[in-house]
Amino acid sequence: MQTRDKLYIDGSWIPSTGKGTIDVIGAATETVIGSIPAGSVEDVNKAVAAAKSALVEWSDRSVDDRAKFVQALAEGLGARSAEIAATISAEVGMPVFWSGMIQAGLPQAVMGSYVEIAKTYKFEQEIGATLVVKEPIGVVGCITPWNYPLHQIVAKVAPALIAGCTIVLKPSEVAPLNAFILAEIMDDAGIPAGVFNLVSGDGPTVGEAIASHPDVNMVSFTGSTRAGKRVSELAAQTVKRVALELGGKSPFVILPGLSDEQLDTAVGAGLGSCYMNAGQTCIAWTRMLVPRDQHDTIVAKVKAAAETFALGDPSDPGHMGLGPLISEVQRGRVRAYINKGIEEGATLVTGGADAPAEFPTGYYVKPTVFSNVSNSMTIAREEIFGPVLSIIPYDSVDDAVAIANDTVYGLHAGVFGADNESATKVARRLQAGQVDINGQKFNPVAPFGGYKQSGNSRELGEFGLDEFLEVKALNL
Say if pTM beats, i.e. exceeds, 0.95: yes
Comparing C-alpha atoms, which of 67, 61, 97 is closest to residue 322?
A: 97
Q: Pairing state of beta strands 7-9 and 2-3?
A: unpaired
pLDDT in tens, the chain (476 residues): 899 999 999 999 999 999 999 999 999 999 999 999 999 999 999 999 999 999 999 999 999 999 999 999 999 999 999 999 999 999 999 999 999 999 999 999 999 999 999 999 999 999 999 999 999 999 999 999 999 999 999 999 999 999 999 999 999 999 999 999 999 999 999 999 999 999 999 999 999 999 999 999 999 999 999 999 999 999 999 999 999 999 999 999 999 999 999 999 999 999 999 999 999 999 999 999 999 999 999 999 999 999 999 999 999 999 999 999 999 999 999 999 999 999 999 999 999 999 999 999 999 999 999 999 999 999 999 999 999 999 999 999 999 999 999 999 999 999 999 999 999 999 999 999 999 999 988 899 999 999 999 999 999 999 999 999 999 999 99
Rg (CA), the chain: 22
Active site residues: 245, 282
Residue 81 CA neighbour count, 13 Å, CB half: 17
Q: Counting runs of H as helices and runs of E as strands, what totals does the chain give? A: 16, 20
Instruction: Tell me the C-alpha to C-alpha distance, in Å, between residue 37 and each of 85, 142, 219, 277, 423.
Output: 22, 18, 22, 27, 49
Cβ count near 223 (within 10 Å): 23
Sequence-ordered alpha helix ranges (H) in 121-224: 149-163, 177-188, 208-212
Comparing C-alpha atoms, which of 301, 277, 278, 259 is closest to residue 288?
A: 301
CATH 3.40.309.10 residue window(s) in the chain: 250-446
CATH superfamily of 250-446: Aldehyde Dehydrogenase; Chain A, domain 2 (3.40.309.10)
DSSP secondary structure, 252-286, as one string: EEE-TT--HHHHHHHHHHHHHHHHGGGG--TT-EE
H helix or E strand, kind and range, residue 332: helix 328-343
pLDDT (0 to 100) of residue 440:
86
Comparing C-alpha atoms, which of 344, 418, 415 is closest to residue 382?
A: 344
CATH 3.40.605.10 residue window(s) in the chain: 2-246+455-475
Is 223:147 a contact under the CB 8 Å cutoff?
Answer: no
Cβ count near 338 (within 10 Å): 24
Is 321:93 a contact under the CB 8 Å cutoff?
Answer: no
pLDDT (0 to 100) of residue 317:
96
Is 297:341 a contact under the CB 8 Å cutoff?
Answer: no
Nearest-angstrom CA–CA distance, 224 and 206: 17
Fold of the CATH domain 2-246+455-475: Aldehyde Dehydrogenase; Chain A, domain 1 (3.40.605)
pLDDT (0 to 100) of residue 1:
83
